[in-house]
Structure 1
């Protein structure tokens, strides 16, 4: 309503001014051209009041809805009114330099696709276009295994076995929720990414889906390997992410206990933006498991830091003196038996999850309900009502939580060992 009043008032004022100029031209050609200049417009009004009076009356009527509309806007959205009067919207928008060098040509679901965000975290490669909670267009590739070094995958339509799973999603203007398509074979994929310090991958990317998906992408790709951002060779503590907070806690614990032998356990998801976080973290310090309360605060200049942190930096590592070698009896070499880590996906089931939920805490799962809906995320436990809770971290700064009744689930899969 306030916008309509403001717009109506401005239109009445504009119509009155145009009518005033027309009256000036009717009086004389010289007066008409002179009326475009404010001092001569005022002079014309004073000299020819009877001719200018109807036009001024119309313009004056426009002031009433304009003032009423601005008053209503100030009552419920003062910041927006301040932004209008600051005239910052007249300044040209300065485009910030892109964090990633992404040069892809092609389309996703028949539309041009220009992702601004790209990452490969926990074996999930995601390319996202749009800054909202739901992406305008998004490509997700779940890789079966990812090493810490280079990442290489080549898939042809006829290949079988365990292959990367490809998912595309898009959000049309008339839709409230995005629409998605998923396939596990029958496509062409070439991925050759090399590590780029400190936490990026860069290389060739080529993807062709079956014709009905109308998706073909090819070019150069650069993406992040974790949720950290860097300024030079230092971590940017201003960036909101779980990895940034974990890095700050890790650095704090190392300095507090004066040791590099600190293994921080996962702290879970955080709902950013935040200015203060109160956590109970678990960490193995010199091999001993400890639980510690940590209060973090985000400051304007220094970013995230632990409250009351006054511990000095760790001294540089000094090599211990070499002791004099002593003769040692040579024992018979017994071949060590190498045990492989247990793959919990082999015997995973819904009944096993309900019997022993702690065993699968914070692992990635995908559940399918009787209605055919699919929910994917990290297992957060079973609530008081017996519902299974999955939490999925979005490519942006948000997350979505799913709460499912066990009897509604027709199929559930564990996606990592």
Structure 2
């Protein structure tokens, strides 16, 4: 209804203006040309009021439905009205999200991927925006990993090796062709985590000569399907991870606790404007089921009826941000040295050597948990936590103090 009123008002204003210009040309050629400029249009109206009044009245009539339509739109969806006046609907030049420096040939053709991810142990490099990529490389790792990733494979290696698949779509084909192999190739991966959800590092792949495939360079890959804008999760991005983040954030604020773990979520189809989901989550260790309705607006996905305030920052994060020492509580001296007493982020940053090689657990603001041995601080002041895992390499977490909302010392 609002759109019809706004459109009708604009059409009446436009029709009145065209009628006014035609009246000006009917008066004289100079008045017609001059009336194309707004100041001279007003001069024509005042000097030839009897000729111009009907066209001006028609334009004024168009202002009435325009104002009514804008008022209705403002009362029903103020965000959309703001988007209209801020010109956010105009097309903008999209900058690439990933810094791809890998180049080479795939099946004998030039390959310059624009998209890449490594999720659930599957690394993908993709060229093209369609449902089927024009060219694509997929590497399935034998086991999942956390943190850094390092893999080295030589043609003579045996055992459980990553599976490599290449695919390409020819101009005269509807479906892509694929080739797959699990040995006889050369692969080098050395990827390091980059906050908030990327991996970056060296990539080198050479397949046997008959595949005509050789790729090398520096890649940047997403480690999940969240997207970020100005350091915050972009709720406008359509992905299952975005929906999970929105629901978990809502439940944390609803129950005023960060002890919320989203355990299960039904399947759904994106893109969509609304979703109704029945999810299961653990709240403070208690299993609960919630039926939630989600909608997508200009600001992105949100749970309908969500008016809960943001969670207060933990005491440890506030003390570290303000550089204020935590209060020391007087207590009898322990019978043995226990470094968990009075443990805080500030103590780690002030004296990292005291906690070297101790087991720590870091809770990040994204809801992730990094647990492992503390290996000191890097040159930028980030905490280094190492964890030995099965599979291809050792997991290394480089966490900035600002990303950590709670830091725990697990052992004395």
TM-score relative to the length of structure 1: 0.54
The structure-2 alpha-carbon separation of the partners of 1:157 and 1:268, relative to structure 1 and needing over 3 Å to count, comes to farther
Provide Cα deviations, 1:150-200, integer angstroms capped at 9, x if missing partner: 110000000011111101111112112111111111000000111111111
Q: Tell me, what secondary structure is at the counterpart of 2:245?
A: helix
Task: Tell me which residue corresponds to 2:302.
Answer: 305
Q: CA deviation at 1:233?
A: 1.2
Q: C-alpha distance in 2, partners of 1:263/1:102? A: 34
What are the equivalent positions in structure 2 for 1:66-145 lying under 5 Å apart? 95-145=93-143
Q: Tell me, what secondary structure is at the counterpart of 2:102?
A: strand
Which entry has the higher C-alpha Rg, 1 or 2? 1
Residues 1:177 and 2:175 aligned together: yes
Q: CA deviation at 1:327?
A: 10
The structure-2 alpha-carbon separation of the partners of 1:102 and 1:266, relative to structure 1 and needing over 3 Å to count, comes to farther
Q: CA deviation at 1:321?
A: 8.8
Q: C-alpha distance in 1, partners of 2:183/2:234? A: 39
Q: C-alpha distance in 1, partners of 2:162/2:302? A: 38
TM-score relative to the length of structure 2: 0.54
Task: Tell me which residue corresponds to 1:289.
Answer: 287
Q: CA deviation at 1:217?
A: 0.3
Decide which moves more: 253-262 or 101-110: 101-110
Residues 1:192 and 2:200 aligned together: no
The structure-2 alpha-carbon separation of the partners of 1:268 and 1:141, relative to structure 1 and needing over 3 Å to count, comes to farther
Task: Tell me which residue corresponds to 2:49.
Answer: none
Task: Tell me which residue corresponds to 1:317.
Answer: 314
Q: C-alpha distance in 1, partners of 2:157/2:220? A: 26
Q: CA deviation at 1:308?
A: 0.5
Q: How many residues align?
A: 237
Among 230, 237, 250, the alignment partner of 1:232 is 230
The structure-2 alpha-carbon separation of the partners of 1:307 and 1:321, relative to structure 1 and needing over 3 Å to count, comes to farther
Q: Tell me, what secondary structure is at the counterpart of 1:265?
A: strand
Among 248, 251, 258, the alignment partner of 1:250 is 248
Residues 1:160 and 2:158 aligned together: yes
Instruction: Identify unmatched segments of 5+ residues in structure 2.
Output: 1-90, 317-325, 337-412
Q: Do 2:266 and 2:277's aligned partners in 1 also have CA atoms closer than 8 Å?
A: no
Compute the RMSD of aligned alpha carbons: 2.2
Higher RCO (CA < 8 A, seq sep 6+): 2
Q: Tell me, what secondary structure is at the counterpart of 1:212?
A: helix
Instruction: Identify unmatched segments of 5+ residues in structure 1.
Output: 1-92, 331-417
The structure-2 alpha-carbon separation of the partners of 1:215 and 1:269, relative to structure 1 and needing over 3 Å to count, comes to farther
Provide Cα deviations, 1:310-356, integer angstroms capped at 9, x if missing partner: 111111223699887689999xxxxxxxxxxxxxxxxxxxxxxxxxx
Q: C-alpha distance in 2, partners of 1:328/1:96? A: 60
Task: Tell me which residue corresponds to 1:148.
Answer: 146
